[in-house]
Structure 1
Amino acid sequence: MSGSATNIVNVIESVTVAAAPSTLQSTAALVSLGGTTAAVNSLSLLTQASDLALIKSGAGNSTELQNNVYAFYGQGAALPLYVLELGTGGTAATLQTWINANLQTVYAFTTPAAWDTVVTIPAPATPTLGTVSGGTLSGATYYVKITYVNGIGETLPSTEASEAVPANSLLVVDSPTAQAGATGYNVYVSTTTGTETKQTPTPIAIGTNWTLPTTGLVTGGPLPTTNTTGSEFAGVLSAFSSPSSRVYFFLLSTVNTYSQYAGIKAANVSVPSPTAASTEAPHVAEMYQFVSNAPSAVSPMRQQDFRFAYGVTAWPLLNNQTTLTELLTANVNVILTGAEGGISNTILRNGTMMDGNDASVWWEALLAVEQQVVTNGVAWGVINPNLPITLTAIPFVTYATANPGDYSKGIYNGLALTCTPMRGFREITFNLTVQL
């Protein structure tokens, strides 16, 4: 603020969108399933593509790892790249366990293509019904169906069972047997066949029976018509969707399997061109761009969309427009040509996570805070929109050196917005507190 100005207002805006301003954002890892000779649950650091030869086993997903390493280092300047060895029996659940035990160690993972499957949980068997004395309800015949649920969705319903329950008694539905991937079950009941509605506000734990409340049936939601339980992998990805989560996954999918990741913040999904070679890895190109960000005053942050990608084949537009529109609308990433803009390079399109946010959205939080302050200030008659509005920022390195305690907590308080108020003062400075 200039020496002639008077600072009478100190406005603090706060937004929380992980991650912290540290080297975490440049930390990427490939997941190995027995593809290296490294110990299980260990990280191996690569600094160039040829380093993989020192640990490559020739087994497991070794070939996939090699393709991914070459794809990563084919994108530009050499960056550190880790390989996380989970062993030949490694699963998405194994990866989740490792991440939870090693928080803020790796920011971005490229996962095995073999995990991109849709293996849904089957419907439960016909439920076993019974009665128990209690309540004052009239006698009735109840028709029942049940479903399994997991962290993603719900199965199709079981076949129908019925039970004649006498007056002053309550219907009891036995828990279905344990099923891999299922975390609970829902109960659907009616007094007429084929019209069951949901009676459980929240799923019942497997192993716990459900008893009809003494108040009787409620009119709940309808029976599901599709199985939305998805794969174990999709369930793991959805576990990292909180605003404070600092883990992202870059995966190769297909036009038949991508939909299971819809809306998941932590998932960056790429579908390769139908003419691409099997060795290509567009999802790795996406990850490289994600971890290579280093914005500065002379090199501002660019959105992930439209960045150049190398060693990948663009989707041919002929006969693929419908599919491309479907994929792009669903926040899936594809490789296209930049020919329309006079560019010979292949480019990343969408550059988004499956929740629709740009993959560089955490950097954009800074701009969001600035814009919100300006918008509010103008709307409230505080800021004059016709005079200069200046945002200043202390470089991360300078700020972190001066405030080491903030660095470890992921706090950056180096933003300030200087503008001219509508009346009374020449300038006013808004100090912007941003926790990323």
Structure 2
Amino acid sequence: MRIVVTGMGIVSPIGIGTDQFWTAAINGVSGIRPVTSFDASSLRSQVAGEVQGFDPKTFLSAKYIEQTDRFTHLALLAAKLAFEDAGGLDAYSPPRLAVSIGSGMGGFATFESSALRKFRNQPVPPFTVPRTMANSAAAWIAIKHGLKGVNLTCSTACSSGANAIGMALDLLRAGRADAVIAGGAEACVLPLTMNGFEILHALTTGFNTDPARASRPFAKGRDGFVMSEGAGILILEKEEQAMRRGAKIYACLAGYGQTCDAAHIVMPDQSGQVAAMEAAIQDAGITKDSVEHINAHATSTPLGDIVETRAIKSLFGDRAKDIAISATKSLLGHSIGASAAIGSIATIMALHTGTVHPTINLDEADPECDLDYTPNRAQQKNPRTGLCNAFGFGGNNASIVFTTLD
């Protein structure tokens, strides 16, 4: 039994909808700009990947908007686009339609604003709790589309989206659903969130006047990641049922691996990353030599990119240099729980179109980052198997394998 991707929806700083996103990605367009959603002048990091041209009033009623946080708005639009792309799921019974969404922070915009109102002795909005809770995006997707099956939310920091997709794969294989709406959503371009990551020395601070060059995975002189927001949603089905209903198929979701470093709450660990990639490859029933493309976690932190490079070299040996690697975060920054869902769409599109999008701002690589990161220009590589990596705080490592149909 093969699990296939039949629909995709994306809301990102470089485009809304898969076509707009992918056109920008293969052309190396940056979505990093000065922060506009709040006054960031007091922060050391003043750039972010914010979604442009996004207005929830164009697809949600005033009631929905009042009861939902921005991360849910992003998830609802991505889900709407994915449903439309898949041609709808009316062929399935509602109790057999599941939802699996990842978010590292949940409704943090509501948390910040409501906490501030409380500290100022102002009334707290009545929907503060349901807007803030991490499972609100998954719940509202189910409500909006009448999905009455399993409804799950995964919160494993930066690997949330990958684990949500992996859990969807498990649901389908176990026969607990006929189709799953899976992915991730995040909206934490916010004062407290950005200040918190600043204190951890995780954010870039050296490119406030040159935002398009701020996100620099694998590059010499990189100094941290760029905070971002967005959502990515996949429609996943069993191949036979998808073909029976005449759905178009983008790729197969072939394998999933997840490990915990059990070592450090924020520091990356090479052995855990190797183990996650290896587990995903084994789960897919393929060999290491089959992997031709990696969508790297690659946040643009000084240590993280080196550790991931070492992990890839450790697992793949001499073949590592022949694998076409790309860093989607070079284009749009790090959207925490949504990042692997967006990275999965980039991986699928690389398989679907044969084109690997570039890692931009890679004019001079870090000497310790010496693999093929597809620098600055897209490459026609025609990969048949792609690996998407997601490594998060808490030592959570997840890898997903996608393959072409043939």
Q: Compute the TM-score of the two structures, normalised by the length of structure 1.
A: 0.21
**More helix, by proportion:** 2
- Which has the greater radius of gyration? 1
Q: Compute the TM-score of the two structures, normalised by the length of structure 2.
A: 0.22
